[in-house]
Chains A and B, each alone.
Chain A
């Protein structure tokens, strides 16, 4: 048994939850000079809402004007573009088109464009049907009209969050995985009881995503909101199909959802989704055969060429939505406690902005360190299909996953890195093994040997 961590230290900030929001929060506070501890109940980071999304870096053009969400998306978007090169994070400048497929939708376009302009996204502009079909020649002829959002981009949803937490760690933050916050009490200092013992902190930030309300209840006795998980299912098509669309194809949104989107992924595929299905469970991200078939059908309706390509994978994610129409960020100054809840369907884009917003709420007085002048930048996961990959440079030790061209060197680097994966899921997110068209047909065997003793559960038990 490893010794329990020293509980005498009082951390400046304890962050509960290592989703993309918690990771960005840890980075912000570590760079601001705080002594940061991140507690994550899962065996891996990004195991909640941040596990599965559309990976679009939104401009916030359609966010409610004046909302916290809109401000955080705009700030997060800006900061991502500022820091991404120093962190080695990829960006695919696709732009997006919001398309109308019937008269009712057509009538809404101008309202949406006006809203975008109000949100400061000034380059949003109407397109004629002819212009749309010139720019996206594979679209169905039945498109009626639309507008372009040039600034909507694609990013790597996992590498970005990994980079945030790794930068935090490289600059002094600590991460404890398999560490669930169970209860706590504040008497000038926070004392949290976790599944790995007690932890003390001056300040607590609840970034528990799908459990945001539960953490508030555990620590404060009540919560101002209730999480209403909203599931989104996706169908991902094989890489050659990605030539069928350049821009992200967005529908005219409804009140509850942005609707079914067609988007390329930075890994080289093209996907259709998500659905928006309210459910009770905070963990069950099941897919349903009928829904997946319907998504494929909808995709083909908009982009008929998709019919010729095979499906690579299907997945689902859970949005931490609430009964409210905005993020639920609130501060209890008397208790040195901040809730960052209900970061529903735009958290990947907004995470850096949310962290900035929270850092602004928090009086910086009392941090143990000073803001870092030259923060360390960790080595990122380089998984973009549109940028140089590891297999392209010599000495990679052999290709293990042939569909995604993942090398032995890459897998070992992840396994021996500063935040080694402890589950196959975690290894997939860091390297893309088993995530290609064969879904492990060729690489599961070699991978079982390469990862022996490193993953729990293991890919297979040795046969004695």
Chain B
């Protein structure tokens, strides 16, 4: 086994990893290495062959692949060492990693590790979609990778499951190669994306079927049809030759689950403190690994802020051995981030926590510790929309009981 070392090892060369690395170099940090398992860096945007990327961070509108190239170029120019075809296979305590490359295995010792492994869509199995198991059942990400990176058309008349933003990317991706989506199936009575997007599929000639329950896939070798029940329980059948299982993102947390780091059940990502550190403080985490799901631009900004905290930590350790938990203590709240508040005076902490509701709702959101209400506000939100709440009222050195986030629906 060969040994390597570097100062900051970044796991994942997508938006977050590359933005973070570039910013670290800009701040004068030496020895910044990005470890990317794909043959090219750039992450998910590499195969999002459509707009809009980059508007907030680069003040220009890019398609995903051009945006990814720009991120890689910026990192290279800044002096980031990008290692592709390099898979991180294990996380060890104190910033040590096991790597696998086509040439062999390595152990890498760093001062700090940053996990930026992103998100993916949940699979058919995770949604318990029944029926037969033909080929041609793909996530949007897999479809995009086929179309934009491999110039392959998996089917011609797919049905799209879901009405999230990414489901609309799926329509655009289909259009790119002349595929004609037959319908979008949505389990709820309204689309998941914001209402302004609602006329979009109709404009593109794709009908949306609401309240679609108990979806079954029909077909032995290839997809022949998709069946579903409507609100009255009546079954319907749509002839199709493919299925796009879109959205319902979850963090790509395989490494985490097999590691010593604590995982949060709500986000499915790492449990972090207000500085973005995992339960082992030599590990920072950023980007969509933190939670499903934000835009690339959000991840970019989050990563740039994380870079500042790492520089801070290298200069004068953030410390904070003592911490209290911050938890979503109500089933109405899907997750709250960060999950821990450490007692530290170090500058650069997150100013806001991020929350999501489990169902569309309006009501009173509050933060309570030991029976004392620290903060509260009326909100109206939906699961796919982020809620931001101030962290400063919760950062009192005197607090000892966990901070519980509660929600009282109207």
Chain A residues near B (Cβ < 8 Å): 236, 238-240, 283-293, 308, 310-315, 391-392, 394-399, 402-403, 405, 423-425, 437-442, 444-446, 448-449, 452, 457, 459-463
Is the CB–CB distance between A314 and B125 below 8 Å?
Answer: yes
Residue in A closest to B245 when the chains form the complex, CB atoms: A439
Ordered by A's residue number, 6 sampled pairs between the chains whose C-beta atoms are within 8 Å are A286-B130, A288-B130, A397-B102, A445-B149, A448-B146, A457-B221
Q: Which residues of the partner chain B approach A292 to less than 8 Å between Cβ atoms?
A: 128, 130
Tell me the minimal C-beta distance from B244 to chain A in angstroms: 12
A287 to B, closest residue via Cβ: B130
Within 8 A of A (CB), among B144-182: 144-147, 149-154, 177
B120 CB within 8 Å of chain A: yes
Closest residue on chain A to residue B127 by CB atoms: A289
Closest Cβ neighbor of A392 among chain B residues:
B105
Encoded as 1 (CB less than 8 Å from any A CB) or 0, chain B from 113 to 133 comes to 000000011011110111111
User: Contacts A448-B152, A459-B135 given: A439-B141 contact, CB under 8 Å?
Assistant: no
Please pick, from B105, B149, B250, B258, the residue contacting A310 in the complex, using a CB distance under 8 A: B250
Which one of B123, B139, B154, B216 has the highest number of Cβ atoms from chain A below 10 Å of its Cβ? B123
Q: How far is the CA of A449 from the CA of B148 in the complex (A)?
A: 12
Q: Which residue of B lies closest to A393 (CB)?
A: B104
Q: Which 8 A-B pairs have the closest CB atoms?
A: A445-B145, A460-B152, A439-B123, A394-B104, A444-B142, A460-B154, A240-B257, A313-B125
Tell me the smallest distance from the CB of A75 to a CB of chain B, in Å. 34
When chains A and B are docked, how far (Å) is the Cα of A355 from the Cα of B258?
A: 42
List the B side residues contacting A437 at CB < 8 Å.
123, 254
Residue of A nearest to B214 (CB): A289
Inter-subunit contact A438/B123 (CB<8 Å)? yes
**Most chain A C-beta atoms within 10 Å of own C-beta, residue among B147, B151, B220, B265:** B151
Q: Does A459 contact B152, Cβ atoms closer than 8 Å? A: yes
Say yes or no for B371: interface residue by CB 8 A criterion.
no
> Is there contact, CB below 8 Å, between B130 and A441?
no
The residue from B87, B123, B145, B154 contacting A402, defined by CB atoms under 8 A apart: B87
* Min CB gap B90→A, angstroms: 12
| Residues of chain B in range 251-298 having any CB-CB distance to chain A below 8 Å | 252, 254, 257-258, 265, 268
- How many B residues face the partner with a CB closer than 8 A? 51
Q: Are A441 and B141 in contact (CB under 8 A)?
A: yes
A396 near B102: Cβ-Cβ < 8 Å = yes
Further pairs besides A405-B100, A439-B124: 13, Cβ < 8 Å? A240-B257, A287-B131, A292-B128, A395-B103, A399-B85, A402-B254, A405-B89, A445-B145, A445-B146, A446-B149, A457-B221, A459-B152, A463-B177
CB–CB B100/A391 < 8 A = yes
Taking a contact as CB atoms under 8 Å apart, the answer to whether A423 and B221 are in contact is yes
Q: How far is the CA of A432 from the CA of B216 in the complex (A)?
A: 25
A424/B135 contact (C-beta < 8 A), A394-B102, A446-B145 known: yes
Beta-carbon nearest neighbor of A241 in chain B? B257
Q: How far is the CA of A313 from the CA of B137 in the complex (A)?
A: 13
B125 to A446, Cβ gap below 8 A? Answer: no
Q: Which of B129, B133, B138, B151 contacts A440 (CB 8 A)?
A: B138
Distance A284 CA – B132 CA, assembled complex (angstroms): 7
Asked if B199 lies at the interface with its beta carbon under 8 angstroms from chain A, I say no
How distant is the Cα of A312 from the Cα of B127 in the complex, in angstroms?
Answer: 10
With contacts A287-B131, A423-B221, A457-B135 taken as known, whether A311 is within 8 angstroms of B150 at the C-beta atoms is no
Whether A445 contacts B142 in the complex (CB less than 8 A), given A398-B102, A424-B135, comes out as: yes
**Neighbouring A residues of B397 by C-beta, 8 Å:** none
Q: A152 to chain B: closest CB distance in Å?
A: 26
Q: With the chains together, A230 CA to B104 CA distance in Å? A: 46
* A460:B126 contact, CB within 8 angstroms: no
A441 and B133 in contact (CB under 8 A), knowing A448-B146, A463-B152?
Answer: no
Q: Find chain A residues with CB under 8 A from B135 CB.
A: 424-425, 457, 459
Cβ–Cβ < 8 Å partners of B123 in chain A: 313, 437-441
Contacts known (A312-B125, A444-B145, A463-B151); A240 close to B258, Cβ less than 8 A: yes
Chain A residues with Cβ below 8 Å from B139 are 438-441
B222 within 8 A of A: yes
B160–chain A nearest beta-carbon distance, Å: 16
CA distance A174 to B142 in the complex (A): 38
Min distance, Cβ A235 to any Cβ of chain B, angstroms: 8
- B138 to A, closest residue via Cβ: A444
B152 and A449 contacting across the interface, CB-CB below 8 Å: yes
- A285 CA / B217 CA spacing, docked (Å): 12
B268 — which chain A residues lie within 8 A by C-beta? Answer: 310
A293 touches B152 (CB 8 A): no
Question: Are B177's CB and A315's CB within 8 A?
Answer: no
Do the beta carbons of B153 and A463 come within 8 Å of each other? yes
- Give the nearest-CB partner of A307 in chain B: B265
Which residues of the other chain, B, contact A313 by a CB distance below 8 angstroms? 123, 125
Q: Considering the chains assembled together, what is the distance between the CA atoms of A291 and B146 in angstroms? A: 33
Asked if A289 and B130 make an inter-chain contact with CB atoms under 8 angstroms apart, the answer reads: yes
Query: Could you tell me the distance between the alpha carbons of A400 and B47 in the complex, rounded to whole angstroms?
Result: 16
Q: Chain A residues near B153 (CB, 8 Å)?
A: 460-463
Looking at the assembled complex, report how far the CB atom of B234 sits from the nearest CB atom of chain A, in whole angstroms.
17
| Bound Cα distance from A272 to B76, whole angstroms | 48
Is B356 among interface residues, defined by CB-CB distance under 8 A?
Answer: no
Alpha-carbon distance A136/B349, docked complex (angstroms): 43
CA distance A414 to B89 in the complex (A): 24
- Please name the residue on chain A nearest to B84 by beta carbon: A398
Residues of the B chain whose Cβ atoms lie less than 8 Å from the Cβ of A289: 128-130, 214, 216
B105: A residues at CB distance < 8 A:
392, 394
State whether B126 touches A310 (Cβ < 8 A): yes
Chain B residues positioned under 8 Å from A463 (CB to CB):
147, 151-153, 177
Q: Which residue of A lies closest to B217 (CB)?
A: A286
Partner among A238, A394, A438, A461 whose Cβ is within 8 Å of the Cβ of B103: A394
Determine which of A284, A396, A439 lies in contact with B125 in the assembled complex, contact meaning CB atoms within 8 Å. Answer: A439
The distance from the CB of A413 to the nearest CB of chain B, in whole angstroms, is: 15
Residues from chain A with a CB closer than 8 A to the CB of B265 are: 308
Contact A441 B39 (CB under 8 A): no
Q: Are B146 and A444 in contact (CB under 8 A)?
A: yes
Residues from chain A with a CB closer than 8 A to the CB of B131 are: 286-287
**Chain B 71-108, CB within 8 Å of chain A: the 1/0 string?**
00000000000000101010000000000101111000
Chain A residues, Cβ within 8 Å of B112:
none
Q: Which of chain B's residues has its CB closest to A397's CB? A: B102
Beta-carbon contacts under 8 Å, B185-218 to A: 214, 216
Partner of B132, one of A236, A286, A312, A461: A286
Contacts of B47 in A (CB 8 A): 445
Complex Cα distance, B104 from A96, in Å, reads 37
Give Cα A240–Cα B145 distance, bound, in whole angstroms. Answer: 28
B37 touches A (CB below 8 Å): yes
Residue picked from B105, B133, B250, B268, most chain A C-beta under 10 Å = B133
Q: Which residues from B are CB-within-8-Å of A439?
A: 123-125, 139
Chain B nearest Cβ from A150, distance in angstroms: 29
Nearest-neighbor residue (CB-CB) of A308 within chain B: B265
- Cα separation A86 to B139 with both chains bound (whole Å): 41
